[in-house]
Chain A
Amino acid sequence: MDLYSNLLLGFNTAVTPMNLLYCFGGVLIGTLIGVLPGIGPVQTLAILLPTTYSLSPISALIMLAGIYYGAQYGGSTTSILMNLPGEASSVVTCLDGHQMARQGRAGAALTVAALGSFFAGCVATLMIAVLSIPLADISLKFGPAEYFSVIVFGLIGSIVLASGSIIKAIGMIVVGLLLGMVGTDVTSGAQRFCFGVSELADGIGFVALAMGLFGISDIISSLEKGEKRDILKGKLTGFMLSKKEFLTCIPATLRGTLSGCLLGILPGGGAVLASFSAYMLEKKISKDPESFGKGNIKGVAAPESANNAAAQTSFIPLLTLGIPSNVVLAIMAGAMMIHGIQPGPRVITSNPELFWGVIASMWIGNLMLIILNLPLIGIWVRLLSVPYRVLYPAILVFCCIGLYSVNNNTFDIGLTALLGLLGYIFIKLDCEPAPLILGFVLGPMMEENFRRCMLLSHGDPSVFFTRPLSLSFLLLSLIMVVAAGLPALKKKREVAFQGDDL
């Protein structure tokens, strides 16, 4: 069988002692930088890029890939323990994960995140091996009209499924859209809301926004609460899952993995869409949606497996089409070019051992990650018992280092301080920042694709309805709106969504 011989070639390449070592080094570095708030895979890959010059291209890519998915693993740790999402896709993990930590269940949350990620990683790796070429072709079917419709679907979904005050949810999305407007307009190249500050020309940095709204504002409001301000509210319980929890997590992980695998191949916001939609799906089909946002374990399992699966499948466009779908993969593409390999459709035929070797190493790397991470959970959880007066200055220092390293610029640190203040105001007003993040990430994408689509159709809006994929997403959005308006469902919604989360 072809696949079999290909995988064999891959494993033969990946299990040489040298490559195993680089794989381990990669996932270890990845886990560590994932755990440090703010220092993400982008900066690490940029720093380590020159050190890979002397390696063989395969070892170099195996290590860099390891850092990338290792960081996805580690990233959930800070989201759960400190409410500090390092990147857009782990924002959702904060919602229930951090609540679990406050209830003394940080260990269980971390275990679920690790197991879910491992499972998702394995499935996604297998999927890359079997389906990468047809899947890459599907992603090409997504033109501007399709992107626009998917994003409309995503935004409407998040409003319809929003809890508590729907007005507040819409308000937060709109604030997110407005913040997303800052920067250079892709379509016209014009500077919007930059006020002559060059640093704002690329828009507000995502890391700055997420840290300000989640991490920094959380610290401010914790300090306000006076003496008893340790993160841990309840008693610290073990990190083993009960049998019941384990069983409820299995279907959630499966669904999360599926959304991650599918949405991850979309260039652009794949991982973000994946984790948000996995969370929304869980909440929608759950029998007790009001428990989401208060430490529901499924609210950790689903998005965590989704973002890990998406991290892996986002390699598909790079390896098969030569298209990096995010900044990290763009650096990987650069690393390939340094070694004289042009990323693109010909990699599979011209460098099969590289293609299959990297895929095989992903599975091995996932295995290493779970072995590495499960024993570490106990250590991370103990961090919570550190007194807050010691912990928060440390968090702030790490945040500043991370923020500086994004662009080697101090501007982002000042911006984060301001956004932290904004986040504190939101906490006082009882507004959840998660919908804002969604609007911030998806809004500019929606605008860009809408305008491009209208330009290409020379101003004819019917293009959104004549393309089948686009039409189906718009119809689905309509169904959601109608369904939300139906009296029977409306009643259920009111009962269901009294929580105060997404």
Chain B
Amino acid sequence: MKFTLKRWRFCSVLLVLFTLFAGQCLAQDIKGPIKIVVPYPAGGGSDIVARLCADKMKDTLGQPVIVENKPGAGGRVGTEYVKGLPADGSAMLVVNPALFVVNPLVFSKLSYDPEKDFEPVAQIMTYQFVLSVPATSPIKDIKGLIEWLKKNPKEANFGSPAAGSLPHFFGLLVGKAAGIEMVHASYNGSAPLLTALMGNQIPMGIDTFESESAHHPDKIRILATSGTSRKLPDVPTFKEQGLDIEGVGWNGIVVPAKTPKAIIDKLSAAFVKAIKSPDVSEKIKQMGSDPIVTDSQGFAAVIKQDREKWTPVVQASGFKAE
């Protein structure tokens, strides 16, 4: 059989039709490579999780998924950046309570509105806060801490990794629940806070479990964790020790507002699958966080719940970022 010109034409018409048809099918799909924007420098907790997810999702979605770091201004630069990207699922952002719950309360002119500019996709992990003291400290538990603070009011200081961070506000919750006026000293991140704790420069520090777990119990002693259940088998929660407070931080994924529902669902499912895969879960646990994942509705509920929880605390602190 010979390929005549006619036959060639027929073939190419078929080909064109096929391509058009395929294009039609893909209309609900996401064009081009998908990027997960991490508004922090590479190497941090949220960056690592985003990279782990990206690695899994490229197989689930069948297209390249890359992580882009856009650090600056405690995450605000990256958030502003994603706000302006196309709402077609090709750009996602990793967010946390500081960006989505605290910032709207402490900035009078915030360049984004968490509710109007973004749609939640999935919560991908949570992390507990811990209260720790230097390993050389005589304080053994929360009860002992409260007694000690009442005896030494001049030493009633606590350190947090940053002013206006959730550990800062959690510390205020602790002080309120214990009925003690505590002075807050902010450090320039978790590392300097840890150094100060280990060197006995400050009587106690509040930070995420992830930052402090490795040093327990050689250099610091964790007195309590902030979740509803124990994070460490031998360390009771605040609730168990008589302080009625709890709270966790989280990382979640959002996309620019007006992204089609079908695309959000597709991305959400891909995240749930990625986090639930055993190796990713295991790595998140190794980092000291919890691989707790929810879909878009679940994440929206978490954000709403945390707004209600933290708004009175932040407002009572009088903290303003400008």
Chain A residues in contact with chain B, CB under 8 A? 42, 45-46, 49-50, 53, 139-144, 184-191, 196, 198-199, 201-202, 267-268, 317, 321-325, 327, 330-335, 337-338, 340, 342-346, 407-409, 448, 452, 455-456, 458
Contacts and interface: CB of A to CB of B under 8 A. Distances in A.
B164 interface: yes
B302 interface: no
A334 B44 contact: yes
Given A190-B322, A331-B42, A199 B163 contact: no
A144 B319 CA distance: 23
A185 B320 CA distance: 12
A190 B106 CA distance: 10
A185 B283 CA distance: 34
Interface in B139-160: 154, 157
A452 B161 CA distance: 13
Nearest to A324: B191
A268 B68 CA distance: 27
Interface stretch (B26-34, B213-221, B269-277, B303-311): B213-221
12 contacts: A46-B42, A187-B186, A189-B163, A321-B195, A322-B214, A331-B43, A335-B43, A338-B48, A344-B215, A407-B77, A452-B185, A456-B185
A-B CB proximity, top 10 nearest = A334-B43, A189-B163, A140-B199, A344-B214, A46-B42, A201-B73, A342-B214, A331-B43, A143-B201, A189-B164
Contact of A345 (B42, B69, B213, B219): B219
Given A321-B198, A408-B68, A45 B42 contact: yes
A456 B202 CA distance: 8
Contact of A196 (B43, B51, B109, B184): B109
Contacts of A185: 163
B234 to A, nearest CB: 17
Given A201-B72, A267-B192, 13 more contacts: A50-B67, A140-B195, A186-B162, A190-B322, A317-B195, A322-B214, A323-B191, A330-B41, A331-B43, A344-B215, A345-B214, A407-B72, A408-B68
Contact of B77 (A188, A199, A334): A199
Given A455-B157, A458-B154, A322 B73 contact: no
Nearest to A266: B195
Nearest to A192: B322
A201 B74 contact: yes
A277 B305 CA distance: 53
Interface of B: 41-45, 47-48, 51, 55, 67-74, 76-77, 80, 106, 109, 111, 154, 157, 162-164, 183-188, 191-192, 194-196, 198-202, 213-215, 218-219, 283, 286-288, 319-322
B186 A189 contact: yes
Highest count of chain A CB atoms <10 Å: which of B51, B67, B77 = B77
B97 to A, nearest CB: 15
A321 B198 CA distance: 9
Given A189-B163, A201-B74, A409-B77, A337 B185 contact: no
A322 B215 contact: yes
B73 A330 contact: no
B199 A323 contact: no
A321 B69 contact: no
A335 B213 CA distance: 17
A190 B188 CA distance: 13
Contacts of B283: 338, 340
Contacts of B55: 53
Contact of A198 (B69, B76, B198): B76
A414 B70 CA distance: 17
A407 B71 contact: yes
Contacts of B42: 45-46, 49, 331, 334
Contacts of A143: 196, 199, 201
A335 B186 CA distance: 26
Contacts of A325: 191
Nearest to B321: A189
A408 B67 CA distance: 12
Highest count of chain A CB atoms <10 Å: which of B109, B162, B191 = B191
A186 B191 contact: no
Contacts of B215: 321-322, 344-345
B48 A334 contact: yes
Contacts of B322: 190-191
Contact of A330 (B67, B183, B191): B191
A346 B157 CA distance: 28
A180 B276 CA distance: 45
Nearest to A444: B188
Given A190-B321, A337-B286, A340-B283, A198 B186 contact: no
A342 B213 contact: yes
Contacts of B288: 342
Given A189-B163, A455-B185, A327 B77 contact: no
B80 A198 contact: yes
A449 to B, nearest CB: 10
A44 to B, nearest CB: 10
Contacts of B70: 407-409
A325 B72 CA distance: 19
Contact of B286 (A53, A144, A267, A342): A342
Given A201-B74, A407-B72, A407-B77, A323 B286 contact: no
Contacts of A42: 41
A323 B51 contact: no
B216 to A, nearest CB: 9
Given A334-B43, A338-B283, A456-B183, A323 B74 contact: no
Contacts of B200: 140
Nearest to A183: B73
B177 to A, nearest CB: 22
Nearest to A456: B157
A383 B219 CA distance: 51
Contact of B287 (A53, A327, A337, A458): A337
B74 A184 contact: yes
Contacts of B184: 455
B198 A140 contact: yes
B286 A345 contact: no
B74 to A, nearest CB: 7
B91 to A, nearest CB: 14
Nearest to B76: A198
Contact of B41 (A53, A331, A344): A331
Nearest to B194: A323
A290 B192 CA distance: 39
A317 B199 CA distance: 12
A412 B286 CA distance: 36
Contact of B183 (A190, A268, A458): A458
Contacts of A53: 51, 55
Nearest to B55: A53
A173 to B, nearest CB: 22
A56 to B, nearest CB: 16
Nearest to A452: B185
Nearest to A48: B42
A340 B192 CA distance: 23
Contacts of A452: 185-187
B43 A333 contact: yes
Given A187-B163, A190-B322, A331-B41, A142 B74 contact: no
A321 to B, nearest CB: 6
Contacts of A409: 70, 72, 77
A198 B111 contact: yes
Contacts of A408: 68-70
A452 B163 CA distance: 12
